[in-house]
């Protein structure tokens, strides 16, 4: 077991807490009243600084929580929009399938190239393929 004097203990404690020692204790029976007051003031100052840091961190945490809430709401909105777009896509795909089913050929020979291309694109779309324009 390590034995420390009171002064050594206070010094080690201050070092552990990250507080510089403002006063080296005088020799004798213990610290003087002024030395104790100085250490007390130093501890209070350090405590105030730590409390200010905690307050700043709490404000930052509150700000980040607001951002997180806003992002959560935005994600829900995007999910709703995605669901609506999927419903619209399915509705349009059903309509396209109906048109394709009842198509009975190219209306005029002069439209045959465009009609054939449109039918190929329709078949690909109904199979779920995507193509470039």
Q: pLDDT digit string (tens) for 17-51?
A: 776 655 555 555 677 888 888 888 888 888 899 99
Q: Please compute the mean of the pLDDT values over residues 94-123 and round it to a whole number.
A: 90
pLDDT of res. 130: 65
Q: What is the pLDDT, as a whole number, of residue 28?
A: 59
User: What is the model's pLDDT at position 29?
Assistant: 67
pLDDT > 90? residue 61: yes
Contact of 96 with 119, CB cutoff 8 Å? no
129 contacts 106 by C-beta, under 8 angstroms = no
Mean pLDDT, to the nearest integer, of 91-110?
88
Please say if the pLDDT value at position 128 is more than 50: yes
Q: What is the band of 60 on the pLDDT scale with cuts at 50, 70, 90?
A: very high
Task: Give the per-residue pLDDT at 133.
Answer: 47
The domain ranges of the chain are 6-126
What pLDDT score does 105 carry?
85
Q: Which two tokens stand for residue 25?
A: 């204790």
Query: What's the predicted TM-score (pTM) here?
Result: 0.50
CA distance 125 to 17: 69
> Do the Cβ atoms of 44 and 19 come closer than 8 Å?
no
Question: Mean of the per-residue pLDDT values for the chain?
Answer: 85
Name the one residue in this structure whose structure tokens are 């994600």: 75
* Cα dihedral 43→49→51→54 (10° resolution): -140
Percent of the chain whose predicted confidence (pLDDT) is above 90: 44
* Run of H or E residues at 115: helix 112-126
């Amino acid at each position: 077991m390590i034995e420390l004097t009171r002064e050594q203990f206070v010094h080690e404690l201050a070092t552990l807490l990250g507080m510089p020692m403002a006063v080296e204790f005088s020799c004798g029976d213990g610290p003087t009243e002024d030395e104790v007051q100085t250490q007390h003031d130093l501890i209070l100052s350090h405590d105030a600084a730590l409390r200010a840091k905690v307050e700043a961190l709490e404000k930052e945490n509150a700000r980040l929580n607001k951002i997180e809430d806003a992002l959560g709401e935005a994600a829900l909105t995007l999910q709703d929009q995605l669901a609506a777009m999927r419903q619209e896509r399915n509705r349009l795909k059903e309509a396209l399938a109906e048109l394709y089913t009842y198509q009975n050929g190219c209306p005029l020979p002069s439209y045959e190239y465009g009609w054939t291309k449109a039918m190929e694109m329709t078949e690909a779309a109904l199979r779920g393929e995507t193509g470039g324009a």
